[in-house]
Amino acid sequence: MMAKAENNTEERRHSRCTLFPYYTQRLAVNVLEHDRRMIQTSEDMAGSEGSQVGPSLVAFSLNGIFPEEDVSSRHIQVNDLAPALESLAAAKSKLEAEVHTINEETASDVDQWVANAKSLEDDISRTRSRANEIVRRSEAPDVSGKAIQEAVDKVDFLGQESAYNNQLYNALTRIKHVSQLLDEVESARDGKRILQALHLLEQSWVALDGISVSKSCRVMKLLDIRAFELKSSVHEALDHIWNSLVQIDTSTSQVAVFNSRLDEQLSLADAVIGLKAYKEVDNRMSVFWKDLDRVLLGPRTVLQRGDVPAIIVENSALQLTGAAERTVLSLFQDLETVLEYLSGRLGKELVSSLSNCMMPDLLPRIIALWLEPAVPASLKDMDEFHKVIDATETFYSRIEALGFSRLEELQDWVQTVPRVWLAKCRETALESIRIKLTQGLGDPKEIERIETQTVSQEEGQRLDPNRSVLFNSDGWDAAWDDHDDAPRNENQPKETKNDDGGDDGADAWGWGDEGDDNETNDAVADKNPKQTEPTEDDDPTAAWGWGDEDDAADAPERDTVVIPSTQELTLKETYNISSMPEPVVALILAILEDGAYLVSNDGNPMATAAAGLFSLPTLVLAMFRAVSPHYYALDAGGNMFLYNDATYLAERLSEIVKNWKARDDLVPRAKSMLRLDNDVKSLQLFATRAYSSEMTTCRTILRDLLGGSQTLLQQEELGSLNLQSQVDNAVTYVRSTAASWSKILARSAWSQAVGSLVDTIASKIIADVMDLAGIGQDDAYNIANLITRVTELDDLFLPPKPGKDDIPSTSQYASNWLRLKYLSEVLQSNLQDVKFLWLESELSLYFTVDEVVDLIGLSFVDNARTREVVREIQGRPHPRGS
C-alpha cells in the first residue's frame, strides 16, 4: 500500500510539474487578451455615441485609467447617464462573452489544474498528517517494529531521492563545463592558439571521462562527437606545423629540421608537446626515420655499384652530394654529421625516441656491410683493421655523447673483435675450401714417396737380387683376401663399410675417429684371421705391396730398393694428386703461423683468438672431408684421386706436426696447442673409405656385367656369342678402369686395385661353374674359351717393358687367378689328367678335395673308372705335403 501511495504521489508530482507552467502561461495570455479587447470595445463605444463619459467609465473600470481633465471636470447631465450605462452594459456583455469563450477553450486545462491543485492540497494534508503521525509515533513508547521499518524505508527513499537529485545536478553541471571547454577549444583553434587548444582539449577529455553518465546517453554521444571533431581539426593544424618544421624532400635528397619558423606560432618544442598529447611521438619518429633512411642514410650506407654519395650540411639542411670514399672512416664521418645535426635540432626527447627505431636498423647494417667486410682473414692486414677498430670506438663514444641510445650492438661488436676476427678467419678458410673444390680437380701433380726402413739380415737374404721388391714366401694370399683388397700400407686404404655396404657420411667430419688405434688393429685382425705373416709394421716392403718380379734396371719408374751395408731399405714410388691438397696444406700452415704469432705476442688485441686459430685446421679438414666426395665424384677416377689426396694430406700433416715440435722459434705453449693427430687418423680413414667406395662400385658393375645375382652359365636364353660378349664387356671395363687408375695411383696401389677387379671376375666365373648341375663336353669347351678370354688380363700385370721371360704377377694380387686357370685345365682334361693335376701338379694348392670331386661329378659319367679316380684323390687330400 505504501509503495502504491508513493507511486501515486510521484505521478501527481510529475503531473503538477508538467502542467503548472502551461496553465500559468495560458491564463496570463487570456488576461492580456481580455484587457486588449476591452480597451478596443471602450474606444468603439465612445466613437459611436460621441460621448466621452461612457468610454471613460469603461476604461477606468477595466484598466484603472483616469479620464482626461476635460472629461473629469465636465458636468454630468442626466442624459449622459443613459449612454454611459449602455456603454458599461455593452462592455459587460462583451466581457462576459469573451470570458465564456475563454472558459470554453480552457475548460479542460482549468479542470485539470483545479484537480491537480486539489490533489496537491490533499498531498500536503496527507504529508502533514504523516509527519504528525511520525512525530507522534516517535514520542510514543509503544511504537511497533513494523511502523519503525516503514519509517526507515521512507527515510531511505527520501535519501535516495535527494542523492539522485544531487547526482543529476552534478552531471548537468559537468556537462555544462565540458561544453564550455569545447567552446573554448574551438575558439583557440580558430585563433591558431594550438597549444592552448590542446591543453583545453585535454582538460575536456578529463572532464568528459569524469561524468558519471553512460556513454550511450545521447548527450554524451554528442559531446564525444564534438570532442573528436575538434581533436581531428587540431591534429590537422598540428600536422601542418610539424611538416613545416621537419621537411624531407625526396626529389632533392634533402632533410631540414627547424626549431621555429616566422610563419608558424609554434616551435618544435611546442609541437613535441602537442605530439605527446596525441601520444604520437614514437610513431612520428618512426616515420621520420624511414624517410631519413630512404632519402639520406640508405644511399650512403648500402653499398651498391658505382660511387657512394657523401652527406653535407648546406643551408641548414642535410643533403647528398658528390662521391665519398668507400671506407669505414669516411662513413663514420658522414654519420656523425647527420647525428650531430639531428641531436642539435630535435632535442633530447625526440633523439631518445628516434634512437629506439633508428639504431636497431642502422647499426646491424653498418656491421654487416662495412665492419665485417673490413675484418681481415689473416694477420697481414691487421694494422689497417686496428684503425677501423679505433674509428668504431670513437664513433661509438661520440654518438653516445650526442644523446643517442640503443648502441649495445655496436659496443658488443667492438668488445668481441677477436671473436669476430676468428669467425672471419673460419668463414674465409671454409669458403676457400669450398670454392677450390667447385673449381674442379685441376691438373694432376706427381708426388714421389721415399721411405727408408732398417731390415734384418734374414730379410736381406730373402731379397731376390734380380727383383726390385721384397716379397712374402706365402705370397699375397696370406696378406689379404677377397674381402680386404686395399693396399697394406698404413697410408693406403683398407675398405671399411657400414652395415648397408656403403660409406658412412658422418665419418667425413671425423666423428668417432678418436678411438684407440688398438681398436682398429683388433678389427683388422678379426677381419683377416688367416694373416699370420708380419704386417707392414714388421715388414716395410709388405707395406708397399711390392712383389713384382721385374728387373729394377728395366723398370726405372717402379720402386727401387737400395740395400747398403747398414741394412737400410729405401722405398720409392710415385703417384698423382689433384690440385686440392697443396692449397689446403698452405692454408693450414698460414693459420698455424698466425696462431703461433698471437701466442708469442700477448699484447696483440687478437691474442685471445689464438686457441681458436689452432682448432681451425680441424674444421678445414672436416670441411674437406664433408664436401669433397661430391666434387671428386664428378671426374672419372675421382674417388682414387680423393684417396691419394687424403693420403697425401695425412702424410703432410704428420710432417707438419713433427717439424712443429722440433722448431726452436716457438714458445712451448704454441707447440702444445697444435693437435692434429686425430685429424691425421681421420684423413687416413677417409682415404680408406674413398678407396673402398670406388672398389665397391667397380665390383658391382663387374658383377652386373656378368649376370648379377644370376648364374651366368645357366642363362639358357643366352647363346655362346652373348656369353662371350658379356665376358668381353667385363674384360674391357677392367682394362679401361685400369688405364684411368694408372694415371692416378701408385704402382703398388694400382696393382692391388686392378687385381681386386680381376679377382672379382675370376671368383664370379668359378662360383657359377661350381653351381652348374652338369658340364657337358661342349659346355666345358665354351667355359674354357670364356676363361681364356679372361686370362688375357695377365698382360696388365707385366712390367712396363716386359721381356720374353717375364711372368705376369696377376696371381699375387688376385687370389682366385690360379684357381681360375686350374679350373680351365680341369675342364679340358680327362680323368687321368685330372688325377695327375691333383697328385703331381699344384691343383691341390687351389682346390679342396670336395671341390675337385664335385668338378669330376659335373664333368664325367659316374662309372667304375670315375669312382676309382675319386677314391685315389680322396685318399691323398694333401698330396703336396705327403
3-state secondary structure 840-861: CCCHHHCCCHHHHHHHHHHHCC
Once rounded to an integer, what is the mean pLDDT over residues 577-592? 93
**CA diameter of the chain:** 202
pLDDT reported for residue 36 = 55
- Name the one residue in this structure whose C-alpha cell is 666426395: 629
The three cell numbers of residue 495 are 675398405
Answer with the residue of higher pLDDT: 134 or 863: 863
Query: Is 781 contained in some domain?
Result: yes
Residue 760 has pLDDT above 90, yes or no: yes
- Name the one residue in this structure whose C-alpha cell is 582538460: 203
Query: Is 250 contained in some domain?
Result: no
Range name among 28-32, 69-73, 764-768 with the lowest pLDDT average: 28-32
Answer with the residue of higher pLDDT: 34 or 93: 93
Q: Give yes or no: residues 783 and 811 share one domain.
A: yes
Q: Which helix (H) or strand (E) holds 186?
A: helix 145-190
pLDDT reported for residue 125 = 87
Could you give the CA distance from residue 861 to residue 846 in angstroms, rounded to a whole number? Answer: 24
Residue 184 has pLDDT above 50, yes or no: yes
Residue 509 has pLDDT above 50, yes or no: no
pLDDT reported for residue 570 = 78
Q: Give yes or no: residues 288 and 387 share one domain.
A: yes
Question: Which residues, in sequence order, are bridge partners of residue 572?
Answer: 450
pLDDT reported for residue 37 = 57
Contacts of range 93-96, beta carbons closer than 8 Å, 24 or more positions apart:
94/37, 94/38, 94/41, 95/34, 95/38, 95/41, 95/62
Task: Work out the burial of residue 781: count CB atoms within 10 Å of its CB; fewer than 13 is exposed, 13-18 middle, 19 or more buried.
Answer: middle
Q: What is the pLDDT of residues 304-313, one digit of tens each?
A: 777 899 999 9
Task: Work out the burial of residue 715: count CB atoms within 10 Å of its CB; fewer than 13 is exposed, 13-18 middle, 19 or more buried.
Answer: middle
Could you tell me which of 288, 185, 194, 293 has the C-alpha nearest to residue 240?
194
Answer with the residue of higher pLDDT: 74 or 479: 74
CATH assignment at residue 808? 1.10.357.150
Query: Is 13 contained in some domain?
Result: yes
Q: Give yes or no: residues 600 and 702 share one domain.
A: no
Most confident by average pLDDT, 201-205, 264-268, 556-560, 854-858: 854-858
Query: Is 225 contained in some domain?
Result: no
Cβ neighbors of 698 (< 8 A, separation 6 or more) are 733, 737, 757, 760
Answer with the residue of higher pLDDT: 75 or 445: 445
Q: What is the pLDDT of residues 423-482, one digit of tens each?
A: 999 999 999 999 999 998 888 999 988 877 776 655 544 443 333 333 333 333 333 333
Q: Where are the alpha helices (DSSP H) in 278-416?
A: 281-292, 298-301, 328-346, 348-366, 372-374, 382-401, 408-415
The beta-strand segments (E) located in 534-590 are 568-577
State which of 87, 112, 143 marks the end of a domain.
143
Q: Give yes or no: residues 588 and 726 share one domain.
A: no
Once rounded to an integer, what is the mean pLDDT over residues 583-589? 94
Q: Give yes or no: residues 514 and 662 share one domain.
A: yes
Residue 19 has pLDDT above 50, yes or no: no
Query: Is 688 contained in some domain?
Result: no
Q: Where are the alpha helices (DSSP H) in 50-77?
A: 53-63, 69-72
Could you tell me which of 328, 430, 444, 460 has the C-alpha nearest to residue 389?
328
Contact in structure between 624 and 642 (CB atoms under 8 Å): no
Share of the chain above pLDDT 70, in %: 77
Q: Give yes or no: residues 707 and 669 share one domain.
A: no
Query: Is 504 contained in some domain?
Result: yes
400: phi then psi, degrees, rounded to nearest 5: -70, -40
Could you give the CA distance from residue 604 to residue 592 in angstroms, rounded to a whole number? Answer: 16
663: phi then psi, degrees, rounded to nearest 5: -75, 140
State which of 641, 659, 682 marks the end of a domain.
682
Q: Give yes or no: residues 699 and 753 share one domain.
A: yes
Cβ neighbors of 777 (< 8 A, separation 6 or more) are none
Once rounded to an integer, what is the mean pLDDT over residues 828-843? 91
Is beta strand 308-314 parallel, antiparallel or unpaired with respect to 254-257? Answer: unpaired
Instruction: Give the chain's domain count.
Output: 4
Once rounded to an integer, what is the mean pLDDT over residues 288-303? 93
Contact in structure between 248 and 295 (CB atoms under 8 Å): yes
**What pLDDT band is residue 141 in, cutting at 50, 70 and 90?**
low
Give the domain extent around 644. 437-682
pLDDT reported for residue 758 = 95
Query: Is 97 contained in some domain?
Result: yes
Q: Give yes or no: residues 726 and 665 share one domain.
A: no
Q: Give yes or no: residues 678 and 735 share one domain.
A: no
Q: Give yes or no: residues 675 and 699 share one domain.
A: no
Amino acid at 177: H
pLDDT reported for residue 538 = 36
Task: Work out the burial of residue 470: count CB atoms within 10 Å of its CB; fewer than 13 is exposed, 13-18 middle, 19 or more buried.
Answer: buried
User: What is the average pLDDT value for the chain, to the nearest integer?
Assistant: 78
- Give residue 154's Cα distance to chain centre: 75
pLDDT reported for residue 163 = 84
Q: Give yes or no: residues 410 and 295 share one domain.
A: yes
Range name among 57-66, 354-363, 697-706, 742-751 with the lowest pLDDT average: 57-66
Could you give the CA distance from residue 834 to residue 828 in angstroms, rounded to a whole number? Answer: 9
Residue 40 has pLDDT above 80, yes or no: no
Residue 77 has pLDDT above 80, yes or no: no
Contact in structure between 88 and 55 (CB atoms under 8 Å): no
pTM for the model: 0.61
Answer with the residue of higher pLDDT: 696 or 118: 696
Q: Give yes or no: residues 710 and 828 share one domain.
A: yes
pLDDT reported for residue 718 = 53
Residue 549 has pLDDT above 90, yes or no: no
State which of 110, 143, 176 marks the end of a domain.
143
Residue 39 has pLDDT above 60, yes or no: no
Evaluate the CA torsion angle 232, 233, 236, 238 in order and state its sign.
negative
Query: Is 767 contained in some domain?
Result: yes
Q: What is the pLDDT of residues 362-382, one digit of tens each?
A: 999 999 999 999 998 888 888
